[in-house]
Structure 1
Amino acid sequence: MKTLRLIFFVILSLSAGQLYAQNRTQEFGFQSDNDSFLAQGSDRYYTNGLFVFYRRGMDFKNPKLANKVLGIEIGQKLYNAQSGSVPNASYVDRPFAGYLYAGANINYLFRNESNFKVSLQAGVVGPSAKGEPVQKLIHSTFGFYTLNGWQYQVRNNAQINLSVEYNKLLVRKEWFDLTASVYGNAGTGFNGVGAGPLLRFGNFNQLFNSVSTQSTATRNSIAPLHKKEVFLHYKPTFNYVGYDATVQGSIFSKEEDKSSLEITSMPKRTVLSNQVGLTYGGPRWIFDATATFNTKEVKTQVFNTHQWGSVTIVYRFSGHKAIM
C-alpha cells in the first residue's frame, strides 16, 4: 500500500507540474496605433502611438481571486492638427502635442469574472516627449510630406496620472458574451470617466484568463474555456472628459504663462468611442487588430470624427522549465 501511495503521489506531482508548466506566466509585447492603418488618406489628430509592455502573473492568497497580473509599460502618443503640415497658426484646429510616459499597473481578476485594474503613469507632455523628431523620422523613412506646425505645440508639463478600470461579466452564451466596463482617470494631465459594454463573438476565455482583460499571463491552474481564443469584439464607450493636457496644456498654467507660439484649445466634454476588432490568442502568440472611431474630441476641430487602427503583438513565455 505504501508503494502504491508513493506511485500515486509521484504521478500527481508530475501532472501538477506539467499543468503548471503549461501556464505562460510572463509576456512581452507591443502595440502600434496609426490613422494610416485604415488607409483613409488622412494624417490628423491622434496620429501615432507606440507602446511596449511586460506582464507577469503573480502569486496570490485571496480565494476570491483567479489571477493577479503585474504590468510595466512605456509609451508615446502623437497628436496633430488637421494635418501634420499647416500653412500657419490659424489652421491649428487641434493642438500639436506629444505624450511620453512610463507606467505600472496591477490587475486583480476574480473568480466571479470581474476585475479591477489600477494603473499609474509618470511622464511629460510637450517638446520633451519628442513628438516632433519621432514624426519627422516616420515621415522621412516612408517618404511622406514635410512637417510644419510643431512650433505651435503644447509646452512642457510634467505628468502624474492614475487610472482605474472595472469589468464585470453580465451574460454568456456558447459563442457570445456581454461585459460591463467602466473607467476613471485622475491626475495632472488626464481627468475623466467612461462606461460602456464589451461584446465578444467566437471562442473566448473567462475574463480572468483572456486577451480582453490583459490577463493571459497567469499562474492559476483553472482550465480555460478554449485552448485558443479567436473572437470578434465590439466596444462602444461614452466618455466624459474633465481635462486633457494634450489639448489644454499644463493644468497649473495661467493664460499669461503661455509661450508666444503655444496653441491650446478646449476639449469636447462628451465623446463617443466605438472599437471593433479581431483577436487571436494562442499558447505562445497573441495578435489583435482593432479600429477605433471617435466623435469630435476638441471644440475647434474642423472634422467631426476621427478614426485610427491598432495592431498588438504579444509573445507569451514561462519563467521556469517544464517538469518532464
Structure 2
Amino acid sequence: MYNKLLLAILPLFLIYFSAISQEYNNEFGIVSDNDAYLFYGQDRYYTNGLFIYYRRAVDQHKLGDNLEKLTYELSVGQKMYTPLSGYGPDPRTHDRPFAGYLYGKAQVNFFNQKEHVWKIALALGTSGPNSLASGTQNLIHTTVGLYKTSGWDYQIQNEAAANLDVQYTALLHRNSAKSVDFSLESYAQLGTVFNGAGLALVFRTGNINQLFHSSYHSATISQNNKTKKLQERELYFYARPQINYVAYDATIQGSLFTNNSPITFSVRPFVFEQRIGLNYATARFTLDYSLTFRAREIKSSARPHQYGSITAYYRFN
C-alpha cells in the first residue's frame, strides 16, 4: 500500500522540483496602476496606467566575463491624468490638466556580476487626444458603474512623443544572512514628454535574490545561468524613498515646443515620493502589489496623491 502511494506521489514531487529548477527565457506580463487600488474612493491626478510587457533573455554563455545577464524588453503603455475629479465641466475648477500618454517602448537591460544594473529605453508615442485616454476612462467608468466623466475637451493637445530613459542601480550592502539588502537607484529622462532625473534608496527584506536574478528588476528570466540563485522562490517586502527633479512634464505643461493646450500649469522642480510593496516570485510567476505616495508636483491647488500598482508576470520557453 505504501509503495503504491509513493509511486502515485513521486511524479508530483518530480514535477514540483523540476518546475523550481527550470529556467525560462521569456516573460509576458501586465502592470496596472490605479488610485482605486488604495480602496478609499480617491480618483484624481495620475488616475490610471496600463502596461503590457514582453522580455527575453540572451544566452548567457555568449556574454563577457563581467556581464551576468542581458535581456531585451518590448512594452506598450497608456497613462491618464485628471484634475481632482474626473468630472470637471467647469475648467476653472481644474487643478491639473486632463492628459493622456500612449507609447511603445524598446529597452535593453544589462546586469553586471557585481550587481550593477543598467536599463536603457526608447519610447515613441503620442500625448493628447490621440492617446485615447478619454475613451479608456469612459469605458472603465461605464464598466464598473462609476460617475460619468466630463472635462476631456480641455485636455493637453496632440503631440508626437519621443523619450530616452536611462536607469542605473548599484548594490550597496547585503547582510550575511542574505535576507536584507540596500541598493542605490538613479534615473534620467530626456525627450518631448518627460525631462528630469531622480535618486532613490531601495530596501528589501525577506527571501531575496541577487539583483541580476531578482523579480524586483524583472530579472527572473535566464538562459544558461552563470551564477546560482540565492533563493528558488522570492518573497520580500521593499521600500523605495525617492527624490525627483522635474525639468519638464508635458502632461502638466503641454507641448514642449508649441503650447496650444487650453489649460496648463507649472511644475514643482523637486518632488518626493515613497513606494512600498510586497513581491512573490517563483520560477514561473511573479505577483507584486505596491503603493506609491507622491508629494505635490504642480504649482496649483493640487494636493499630494497616491496610487496602487498590481503586477503579474508569466515566464515560458
Q: TM-score over 0.5 for the alignment?
A: yes
Superposition deviation, residue 46 in structure 1: 0.1
Confirm or deny that 1:308 pairs with 2:312.
Answer: no
Distance 1:302 1:106 in 2: 36
Structure 1 counterpart of 2:258, which letter? S
Deviations 1:35-69 (A, max 9, x none): 00001211100000000000000134211011101
Confirm or deny that 1:131 pairs with 2:144.
Answer: no
Structure 2 residue aligned with 1:63: 65
Deviations 1:129-177 (A, max 9, x none): 0010000000000110011111110000011100000001011012110
Q: Secondary structure at the match of 2:126?
A: strand
Instruction: Confirm or deny: 8 A CA contact 1:28 1:316 kept in the other structure.
Output: yes
Instruction: Confirm or deny: 8 A CA contact 2:77 2:103 kept in the other structure.
Output: yes
Q: How does 1:136-285 map to 2 (within 5 A)?
A: 136-173=138-175, 174=177, 175-221=179-225, 222-254=227-259, 258=260, 262-285=262-285
Structure 1 residue aligned with 2:46: 46
Distance 2:301 2:160 in 1: 25
Structure 1 runs not aligned, ≥5 long: 1-17, 319-324
Structure 2 runs not aligned, ≥5 long: 1-17
Superposition deviation, residue 26 in structure 1: 0.6
Distance 2:237 2:157 in 1: 40
Superposition deviation, residue 302 in structure 1: 3.0
Distance 2:219 2:247 in 1: 29
**How many corresponding residue pairs?**
294
Identity %: 41
Q: Secondary structure at the match of 1:207?
A: coil
CA RMSD of aligned residues (A): 1.3
Deviations 1:191-217 (A, max 9, x none): 000001100010010001111112112
Q: Where has structure 1 moved over 6 Å in runs of 4 or more?
A: none
Q: Secondary structure at the match of 1:208?
A: coil
Distance 1:288 1:146 in 2: 31
Distance 2:288 2:198 in 1: 23
Instruction: Confirm or deny: 8 A CA contact 2:220 2:283 kept in the other structure.
Output: no
Structure 2 counterpart of 1:201, which letter? T
